[in-house]
């Protein structure tokens, strides 16, 4: 008789963004002529940069010829992409990594969840609350104990250290969903904590390209000692509109270890390589060529222009909402705005009100964790005229 993984009883029946999409679909079915604007999931709304499209076309032509066709890709990425990552994302910021420490993949969502495959089920996992739901859900699926670190206005959305020493700590900065950051000294305290407690930090830096302030680290490896204690996740989804193309990478330093049951140190880089080479067959050649194109000078210019466009959207949401009396965080170093719901409404009550009265979709804060109750997230990944229209509609119903 087949048995299920009983740990699934410890997570909600729907993934947050699937639940939001389901409710929006129902609303649209009941109101077919309504013009609903989404500031919900952080997804591509602008066309993909021309350099990326040209690279896709060129790589596709290579696939059409017997002499240049490519088969299975190297499971951790082609050298042309790994070298570009090492140079532009790290060396240019004073961080030295080796090619063997980069693992190109099909997305940071899968990597931040799959990394649990190489970690024991008896680790205590500390996760900020609110958080990107993948961290809590995947750890509960694996039966791990989770300790939540509430990030609230009282602590300026800066996570407190766990009450019990945590083995694994998820940090996402710039933060999804609150849009807040940790400065260099705050991140250093977490690295020091991890060194002192022999913990592993899983650092999700998917939004680093949106950082505008100088004291905000782009990589955890800018902090001394981090190589001993941290894995970092990066994504092309938000940086260069790859939500539909799928490409990301994970950095696992070679000296990073965890212990086995005999107390011996085991390389996490070796375990992750073993996991990836068994369960993953590499990212498509065409997609890796597309990702490499964003590291060319023209690629950097074009992607910067798109990021600036989204961050201008963030200002166009933040400033009017603040003038209307709402408390708004984020939107300066991240494409997310974290808003206190007005009139004491719960997050889902505000969701229903916005959808029903303003025909605007956002993401209820409580979907990111209990500490998100009473908050609401807007994304800046919108088309300009729709963002402006959505803000006008929101303000009218406040």
Residue 109 interacts with ligand MLT (CB under 6 A): yes or no: yes
Work out how close the CB of 261 gets to ligand MLT at its nearest, in angstroms, rounded to a whole number.
Answer: 34
Token duo for residue 170: 């998820």
Helix (H, G, I), strand (E, B) or coil at 259: strand
Work out how close the CB of 330 gets to ligand MLT at its nearest, in angstroms, rounded to a whole number.
Answer: 12
- Three-state SS string over 119-139 comes to CCCCCEEEEEECCCHHHHHHH
Nearest CB to ligand MLT, comparing residues 199 and 313: 313
| Strand partners for 259 | 265
Nearest to 272 by CA among 242, 250, 293: 250
Rounded Cα distance, 241 and 246, in Å:
9
Nearest CB to ligand MLT, comparing residues 17 and 280: 17
CB 343 within 8 A of CB 307: no
Work out how close the CB of 80 gets to ligand MLT at its nearest, in angstroms, rounded to a whole number.
Answer: 26
Work out which of 20, 42, 162, 205 binds ligand MLT, going by CB under 6 A: 42
What would the x/- binding string for ligand MLT be over residues 134 to 173, using CB under 6 A? ----------------------------------------
Work out how close the CB of 378 gets to ligand MLT at its nearest, in angstroms, rounded to a whole number.
Answer: 11
Work out how close the CB of 364 gets to ligand MLT at its nearest, in angstroms, rounded to a whole number.
Answer: 12
Burial category of 304 from C-beta neighbours within 10 Å (exposed 0-12, middle 13-18, buried 19 and up): middle
Work out how close the CB of 15 gets to ligand MLT at its nearest, in angstroms, rounded to a whole number.
Answer: 9
Q: Could you tell me the strand order of the sheet in which 328-330 lies?
A: 328-330, 336-340, 375-379, 363-364
Residue nearest to ligand MLT (CB): 42
Work out how close the CB of 97 gets to ligand MLT at its nearest, in angstroms, rounded to a whole number.
Answer: 24
Rounded Cα distance, 232 and 248, in Å:
11
Per-residue burial over 266-284, b if 16 or more Cβ lie within 10 Å, else e, is: ebbbebbbebbeeebebbb
Nearest CB to ligand MLT, comparing residues 104 and 258: 104
What would the x/- binding string for ligand MLT be over residues 5 to 24, using CB under 6 A? ------------x-------
Number of residues this chain uses to bind ligand MLT (CB under 6 A) = 6
Nearest CB to ligand MLT, comparing residues 86 and 328: 328
Rounded Cα distance, 381 and 391, in Å:
14
Residues that bind ligand MLT (CB under 6 A): 17, 41-42, 109, 132, 176
């Amino acid at each position: 008789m087949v048995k299920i993984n009983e740990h699934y009883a410890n997570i909600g029946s729907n993934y947050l963004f699937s639940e939001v999409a389901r409710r929006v679909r129902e609303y649209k079915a009941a109101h077919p002529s309504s013009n609903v604007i989404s500031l919900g999931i952080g997804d591509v709304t602008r066309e993909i940069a021309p350099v990326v499209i040209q690279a896709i076309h060129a790589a596709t032509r290579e696939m059409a010829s017997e002499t240049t066709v490519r088969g299975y890709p190297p499971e951790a990425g082609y050298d042309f992409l790994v070298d570009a990552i090492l140079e532009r994302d790290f060396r240019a910021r004073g961080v030295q990594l080796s090619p063997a420490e980069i693992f190109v993949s099909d997305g940071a969502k899968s990597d931040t969840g799959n990394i649990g495959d190489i970690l024991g089920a008896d680790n205590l996992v500390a996760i900020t609350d609110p958080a990107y739901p993948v961290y809590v859900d995947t750890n509960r699926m694996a039966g791990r104990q989770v300790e939540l670190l509430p990030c609230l206005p009282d602590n300026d959305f800066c996570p407190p250290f766990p009450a019990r020493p945590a083995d694994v700590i998820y940090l996402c900065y710039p933060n999804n969903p609150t849009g807040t950051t940790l400065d260099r000294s705050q991140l250093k305290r977490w690295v020091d904590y991890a060194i002192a407690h022999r913990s592993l930090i899983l650092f999700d830096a998917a939004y680093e390209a949106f950082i505008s302030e100088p004291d905000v680290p782009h990589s955890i490896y800018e902090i001394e000692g981090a190589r001993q204690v941290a894995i970092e996740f990066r994504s092309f989804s938000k940086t260069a509109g790859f939500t539909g193309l799928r490409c990301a990478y994970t950095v696992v330093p070679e000296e990073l270890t965890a212990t086995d049951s005999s107390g011996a140190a085991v390389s996490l880089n070796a375990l992750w390589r073993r996991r990836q080479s068994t369960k993953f067959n590499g990212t498509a050649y065409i997609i890796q060529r597309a990702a490499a194109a964003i590291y060319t000078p023209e690629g950097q210019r074009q992607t910067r222009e798109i990021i600036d466009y989204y961050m201008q959207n963030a200002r166009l949401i933040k400033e009017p909402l603040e003038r209307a009396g709402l408390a708004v965080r984020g939107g300066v170093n991240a494409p997310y705005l974290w808003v206190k719901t007005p009139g004491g409404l719960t997050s889902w009550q505000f969701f229903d009100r916005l959808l029903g009265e303003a025909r605007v979709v956002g993401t209820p804060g409580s979907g990111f964790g209990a500490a998100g109750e009473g908050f609401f997230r807007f994304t800046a990944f919108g088309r300009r005229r729709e963002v402006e229209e959505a803000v006008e509609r929101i303000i009218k119903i406040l």
